[in-house]
Structure 1
Amino acid sequence: MNISEAREVFYEASDMASDIARKLALAGIGVVWLVAGGLKASGVTLTREELWALILLTASLAMDLAQYLYKTIAWSIWAWWKENRAGQDGMCGAPSSINYPTWWFFTLKMLSMAAAYGFIIIDLIQRLNVL
């Protein structure tokens, strides 16, 4: 496998992870909604765990949006600069630091998702008196 093939596998895997995380965040919000009894007919009574799960799931979705917004803006500015300022077209190297914020958002998104599901599991265990 050469480097370009490895990059394609990497891009495909990170895109799939983002898609799955997005779906899990929305599903988690649905689970909290159901467990909270449809938010008690808008009386909105949440346990601490449910509230934290919702906050973290919302944060995960916000990090997902931030990741793709940053990536879109950063790469479009870089491409514009290379084409218009530097007068370059074709192959040219980009600084690796341009992707650092993208990775931070990706990592925060996944950590928020994992923590949110931890709170959901704790809440379900408490409700079902499993332990």
Structure 2
Amino acid sequence: MDVSKIEEILQGHGIKPTSNRIVVLRELTSAERPMSLTELEYKILSIDKSGIFRALSVFKEHHLVHVLEDGGDGVRYEFCRSHSDDADDDLHAHFYCERCRQTFCLEDIAVPQVELPGGYEAVSVNYMIKGICPECARKHR
């Protein structure tokens, strides 16, 4: 994705397009799966860990990333194709492979609506399925 499109996405979510934010968002939009902070740090050598984390924190605040607790080694960040800086409108399921420890998007599987009891208010949803991915299953046959 080119810089002008990245800047447009940032501005559309009310985020000032700094050079660090552009680099971090470019990496997230090109990723084929949700990435951990460590993975981003490994890929983005020009920004230190705290700079990447600050960008991710701003993105989370403006609903530009989903933060996924993968049940494995921590959290992963995924570019949110939301059209709003107030709410996420592209919620989908994720799959965590217990062998390779990668998290995959299952974009064709929507997060089911859950009717909460009175008094409860949902803030976020993390729909994670755990098991063995096709690649790992193939390798262990």
TM-score by length of 2: 0.21
Larger CA Rg, structure 1 vs 2: 1
Question: Which has the larger helix fraction?
Answer: 1
Name the structure, 1 or 2, with higher relative contact order (CA <8 Å, separation 6+): 1
Q: Give the alignment's TM-score, normalised by structure 1.
A: 0.22
